[in-house]
């Protein structure tokens, strides 16, 4: 037996644990650059001996994305020709919004959001993505969870839909900036008489809506204006967006508790 064959014989059956805690074993050893390992769950993959020793061989069932998401077995992958795939970008972004503590500091509204168990698997999400994704000209398409089901905090096949950014921006909330006042209402810091509150709509060129004595008056003006604006935008996109999204926009109601 030559030295190379002897090393292969010695290394066959050797075990190690990868950085996610998955135990793996060498079941085939051709040379230092051509090794096959098997994980305890039966998943097998080719690698090299150095990566095996470092524990950097990934099991596709490892919760490698924010300790939640895993790649799974199937036709979808994180990269294609060295570039991240669109399916992976949308999936990882969704997981980040729900499970990144760093992001929650900047976007606290996502703290209580979750992703359904089946979408922890990239393969399952990516299949849904391919069946539901559409493109409108050069617009960014956003994965939305709470237009179809208002107040929903779980990303799932039944609650999500892709929407163009022009629609998604209509529902952007800045809870950390507005304090305890209802959406669309802020204090009038330069009040002259009893005009204590201002109604306003951020973005899209709408802006200032007027000054009012009470919170309720200011909110009602905002509510009427914003609901009308949502319908106008829905009509702008009619025929380009799914019918169920168009219908949801027309039914959408702004509440003082939003």
Q: Which domain holds residue 138?
A: 79-164
Contact call for residues 225 and 206 (beta carbons, < 8 A)? yes
Mean pLDDT of the chain: 91
In the block, tokens 């209802």 appear at: 182
pLDDT tens digits along 169-220: 888 766 555 568 898 898 888 766 677 888 988 755 558 888 998 899 999 9
pLDDT tens digits along 79-98: 999 999 999 999 999 999 99
Q: What is the tally of structural domains in the chain?
A: 3
Assigned domain for 65 exists: no
Q: Cα separations (Å) of 79 from 66, 73, 82, 89, 143?
A: 18, 14, 6, 10, 20
pLDDT tens digits along 123-149: 999 999 999 999 999 999 999 999 999
Assigned domain for 189 exists: yes
Contact call for residues 159 and 148 (beta carbons, < 8 A)? yes
> Is 50 in the same domain as 105?
no
Assigned domain for 136 exists: yes
Residue 1 pLDDT? 46
| pTM, to two decimals | 0.87
Taking the C-alpha atoms of residue 196 and residue 181, their distance in angstroms, rounded to an integer, is 12
**High-pLDDT (> 90) share of the chain, %:** 76
> Is 178 in the same domain as 247?
yes
pLDDT tens digits along 100-131: 999 999 999 899 999 999 999 999 999 999 99
Average pLDDT over residues 17-31: 97
């Amino acid at each position: 037996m030559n030295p190379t064959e002897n090393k292969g014989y010695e290394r066959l059956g050797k075990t190690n644990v990868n950085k996610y805690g998955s135990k793996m074993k060498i079941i085939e050893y051709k040379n230092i650059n051509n090794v096959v390992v098997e994980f305890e769950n039966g998943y097998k993959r080719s690698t090299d001996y150095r990566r095996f020793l470092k524990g950097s061989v990934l099991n596709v069932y490892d919760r490698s994305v924010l300790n939640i998401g895993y790649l799974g077995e199937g036709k979808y992958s994180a990269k294609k020709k060295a570039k991240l795939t669109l399916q992976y970008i949308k999936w990882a972004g969704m997981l980040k919004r729900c499970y990144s503590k760093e992001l929650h500091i900047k976007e606290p509204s996502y703290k209580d959001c979750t992703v359904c168990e089946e979408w922890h698997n990239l393969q399952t999400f990516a299949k849904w993505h391919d069946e539901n994704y559409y493109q409108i000209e050069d617009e960014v398409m956003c994965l939305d969870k709470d237009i179809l089901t208002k107040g929903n905090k779980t990303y799932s096949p039944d609650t999500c839909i892709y929407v163009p950014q022009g629609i998604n921006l209509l529902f952007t909330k800045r809870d950390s900036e507005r304090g305890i006042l209802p959406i669309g209402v802020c204090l009038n810091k330069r009040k002259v008489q009893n005009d204590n509150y201002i109604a306003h709509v951020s973005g899209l060129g709408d802006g200032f809506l007027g000054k009012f004595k009470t919170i309720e008056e200011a909110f009602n003006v905002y509510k009427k204006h914003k609901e009308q604006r949502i319908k106008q935008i829905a009509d702008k996109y009619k025929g380009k967006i799914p019918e169920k999204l168009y219908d949801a926009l027309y039914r959408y109601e702004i509440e003082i508790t939003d």
